[in-house]
Copies of this chain bind each other. A is one copy, B any other.
Amino acid sequence: MSIEQIAGRLKIHDIRPTQQRIKVYEYLLKHPTHPSVDTIYTALSPEYPTFSKTTVYNTLDVLLKAGLIRAVLLSGNEVRYDGNANEHGHFFCRRCSEVYDFEYVLGVTASEELEGFQTERRDLYQFGLCRTCAKEEEKAI
């Protein structure tokens, strides 16, 4: 996605497209690695001498509220951010700590507990061993 396209998307959501906001959003779109606040700041900081962490916090907040990005909790208690706001699954490997996005078709049959509830968004997380680590563990036995 080009800078212009990103700026346009921000405008649609009534977000003033400043240099910093465009850069943060672009970083999230280009790096589907679910970076933390610090990772984003560290990556963009060299390019902008005055870039501040406060702005990263502000920007993530704004993008979150607009629904353009997602916050995810993959392991322990570290909050990380995801530039892909479309419905997709997250697979977290407990061995290599890598995150894998995946598409899915979900047939949810929720119990009557949720009758009358309006679901606007769903998140599916899966935890276990990725292909590579599953093979490694098999060898080890």
A contact set with B: CB distance below 8 Å = 64, 71-73, 76-77, 79, 89, 91, 94, 100-111, 113-131, 134-135
Contact = CB atoms under 8 A, between A and B. Distances in A.
Q: How many copies does the complex hold?
A: 2
Q: Give the 8 A-B CB pairs with smallest separation, nearest first.
A: A107-B107, A73-B73, A116-B131, A120-B128, A123-B125, A105-B109, A118-B129, A121-B127
7 contacts: A73-B79, A100-B117, A102-B113, A116-B134, A121-B127, A121-B128, A125-B125
B126 A125 contact: no
A106 B125 CA distance: 13
Nearest to A76: B71
Contact of A110 (B89, B125, B127, B129): B89
